[in-house]
Structure 1
Amino acid sequence: MKGKILLFAALLCSLNAQADDLAAQIDSFISGQFSGNPVQVKVLVRTPAAQWPQCEFPQLSLAPNARLWGNISISARCGQERRFIQTQVQVIGNYLVSARSISAGSRLTAADVKLKSGRLDTLAPRTLTNAGKAVGAVSLRNISPGQPLTFAMLRRAWAVKAGQPVRVTAQGTGFNISGAGKAMNNAAAEDSVRVRMASGQIVSGIADDDGTIRITL
């Protein structure tokens, strides 16, 4: 009887050690996804240890384009066996909020935004973490002071608008020609835009910051 108890205790210690090892591997795997980002990461494994893979070093992976925080599922493969480990990833870092009231249609400046530190995993999807993504953009709605900013609240400013007269330049090996036309659609910088030329011909190009339409031949 004593021998069975010792055997069970040894087995339990082995399972606990394996669980600790896998938890550490998952923590390292997730933390590595944020390499170079100034954030604090805490990983909580929710799947019971009894359902974890039994090999020493399972191959860990995430689905393509999977989000990196909140409740996520990590694939752990041991040979032909595959288990999914349910994990909660808590991330503390900087995100963007409005520094003052912003009216719909306003073009944002650096004075309109500020960084705040907090739990990124509790915020709305696609919350902005970089001021460069907001400054120069146009608000699609009224925004209250201190409100977290998301991509859905903003659009890039138009470099050209539909019906606007534009200058079109075409470049190729050994030549550079230009002409005039009218934009047929709104476009931000580096967006594609169609232009009706004075001759009636319709061409497609890329909008530059200054409203010039660039065609590369």
Structure 2
Amino acid sequence: MNTLKGGLAATLLFLSAFAQAANLQSQLTSFFAQRLAGFSDEVVVNIRTPQNLLPSCEQPALSVLGNAKLWGNLNVLANCADVKRYLQVEVQATGNYVVAAQSVARGSLLQPGSVTLKRGRLDQLPPRTMLDITQAQDAVSLRDLTPGQAIQLSMLRQAWRVKAGQRVQVVASGDGFSVNGEGQALNNAAVAQNARVRMASGQIVSGTVNADGNILINL
């Protein structure tokens, strides 16, 4: 009889621990699905931490470091009434990423048909693979690309909106005033990048390139 009770107790304990682990996995899946919304529509989380080291409460507060990646192997902080546990998890995320739709020669300006979206496991891609196809707009390839190749951000640069030696308009503005002047760009720069300009007086100023090619300075 005692043996039967002991076996029943062990079974109930096992089922309780199993249910707790399943509940935690569900919470982790929801946690990462919310953070990956817009990038991934299919998230699977596998817990690698041993069951005896999982948090004891039913609803732990989950968090990751602000600059941590959100898929692959990573650590999650689970906080239960100020008792902290670090969980090792594997996050599998499926979504769209940018690939070359055709061969692209190094130094070429990408055209609308140069790239396309492909669906797959984001956690298995090279670091900094492009997920937003608009980032390829007005971009120049820094290397030869082959059809189907995943495009990393380091493979492209934005096309120069201003080139060194070019005459540019400088617009300096402040509270209630705006002053225009002309100068010579001293470096290549894309839209939203910084450009240095030598003014007619010889003074060198620095500002941000806008879509029109003007250099904006906020005073």
TM category, shorter: over 0.9
Aligned to 2:189: 187
Instruction: Quote the sequence identity (%).
Output: 47
Q: Mark the runs of 5 or more structure 2 residues left unpaired by the alignment.
A: none
Distance in 1 between residues matched to 2:150 and 2:138, nearest whole Å: 17
How far apart are residue 37 of structure 1 and its match?
4.2
**2:41–2:95: 8 Å Cα contact kept in structure 1?**
yes
1:209 matched residue in structure 2: 211
Instruction: Summarize deviations over 1:61-100 as a string: whole Å, max 9, x none.
Output: 1111111111121111222322221111111111111111
Q: Which amino acid aligns with 2:21?
A: A
SS of the residue corresponding to residue 10 of structure 1 reads helix
The equivalent of 1:98 in structure 2 is 100
**In structure 1, distance between residues paired with 2:177 and 2:20:** 68
**Aligned equivalent of 1:84:** 86
Distance 2:65 2:173 in 1: 42
C-alpha RMSD of matched pairs (Å): 1.6
Alignment of 1:55-204 (within 5 A): 55-204=57-206
Cα distance, 1:60 vs structure 2 = 0.9
DSSP-derived class of the 1:133 partner: helix
Structure 2 CA distance for aligned equivalents of residues 64 and 87 of structure 1: 17
Stretch deviating more after TM superposition (53-62 or 148-157) = 53-62
Equivalent AA in structure 1 for residue 10 of structure 2? F
Q: Does 1:14 align with 2:16?
A: yes
2:48 aligned residue: 46
Whole-angstrom distance in 1 between the partners of 2:26 and 2:176? 60
* One-letter amino acid matched to 1:127: T
SS in 1 for 2:11: helix
In 2, the alpha carbon distance for the partners of 1:124 and 1:82 equals 32
CA-CA distance at 1:170 after TM superposition: 2.3
Report the count of equivalent residues: 217
- Name the amino acid aligned to 1:10: L
The answer to whether 1:30 aligns with 2:32 is: yes
Partners of 2:25 and 2:167 lie apart in 1 by 61
Contact 2:39 2:96 in 1 (8 A): no
Deviations 1:43-62 (A, max 9, x none): 11122212211122111111
Distance in 2, Cα, partners of 1:48 & 1:39: 28
Q: For residue 7 of structure 1, report the CA deviation from its aligned partner.
A: 2.1
Amino acid at match of 1:113: V
1:210 CA drift (Å): 2.6
Instruction: Judge which range, 32-41 or 56-65, deviates more.
Output: 32-41
